[in-house]
Amino acid sequence: MDATHYYNPNGEDILDEKLYGGSPTGFVDFNRSRYRWDSNIYDLMNANTWFPSEVNTASEKKNFEHLTDNEQAIYKMTFAQLSFNDSAQEEYLSDFRRLANNRLVKAVLSLQIMQEVNHSKSYAVLLDACGNSEEVFNLYKHDAALNKKNQQVAEQFARYIDGGSADKMLLSAMASVNLEGIYFLLGFSYIYLLGDKVPGARDMIKFIARDELNTHLPLFANIFKTIQKENKIAASTIDAAYEMISDAVEIELEYGKYLLNRYPIMGVTPELMEQTVYNYANDRLKKIGLEPAFEETPTTYLQKLVTKHLEMNEVKSNFFESNVSNYAKSSIDLNDF
């Protein structure tokens, strides 16, 4: 590796560092940001730092055993898929970070990598407490639908991550928008539907969902918009982005309907599932500056359930006695997002 990769005194000024393409000097300077969103998202990520030990999982095994057979299956299949999502995202972020140019954006990506590892740790802690860790982490070996979805997610990540152009970088960012904004959401809602039956799982998912939807999705939405703004992106590339989110919707619904068909639970219907995923997809397109492309319906019950658990101030207690993760942390303005 050439030393200018780390320090280039003839490189760009920090305020001139584009997100893709260029030669940075080598400094991470939080006092001088080319963008309005990168340091804000970094601060919000830091403010929301949490650890799996903060979640009480002492009764998870007993609570899990009281679930119906269908509910136990949904629990295991959901965590099997969610745990893969975070594992794949951690590896992808390392590759995406290597291709990024702006050093401050790279710093934010570094913090997200840490948080994805923390999510993986949280699944291990939760499933170990539940007593089925090895079974759940090996379900992809025995369930063809789970294995297929994991493979499809991996293929979206791999398709454009070799870099080489701003267009490829944009579509690579789109893969992360799909992961953070589409592939997690039905899984989150399943655990919220179980709710008080498995409070350890519910509370762990609350923390994870807040990371994904309050900071990780905004980060990649802004990355997408910034790459598009700073470069001449081909119309065919935007068409490809639409195709990618359409594929993500199809992938998510195929797996969701598979679970629903095998393990029907709590009033979830194929129609409700479709409306929820279509609404999420339209919202993600709006957030990256593109026009909605799916049938729009009023906010669904599953969407409201996820939104309810994103609220940061739901725990009422004395400020000085309250756990750090309970008081308000979402007041930082994300500006462009």
Whether the Cβ atoms of residue 225 and residue 288 lie closer than 8 Å to each other: yes
The tokens of 178 are what? 């799909």
Q: How far apart are CA 4 and CA 218, in angstroms?
A: 31
Dist. CA 196–CA 66, nearest whole Å: 12
Give the dihedral sign, CA 101/105/110/114.
negative
3-state class of 67 per DSSP? coil
Give φ, ψ of 232 to 5 degrees.
-85, 100
170: number of Cβ within 10 Å = 26
Cα 335 from Cα 47, distance rounded (Å): 17
- For residue 265, count CB atoms less than 10 angstroms from its CB and return exposed for 0-12, middle for 13-18, buried for 19 or more: middle
**CA–CA gap between residue 188 and residue 322 (Å, rounded):** 25
CB atoms within 10 A of CB 307: 12
DSSP for residue 299: P
Instruction: Please calculate the CA angle 245-295-81 and round it to the nearest 5 degrees.
Output: 40
d(CA 52, CA 142): 28
Spot the catalytic one: 123, 192, 263, 280.
123
Phi/psi of residue 164, nearest 5 degrees: 100, -15
* Amino acid in position 308: K
Sign of the torsion angle spanned by Cα atoms 43, 44, 47, 53: negative
123 is catalytic: yes
User: Which residues have a catalytic role annotated?
Assistant: 123
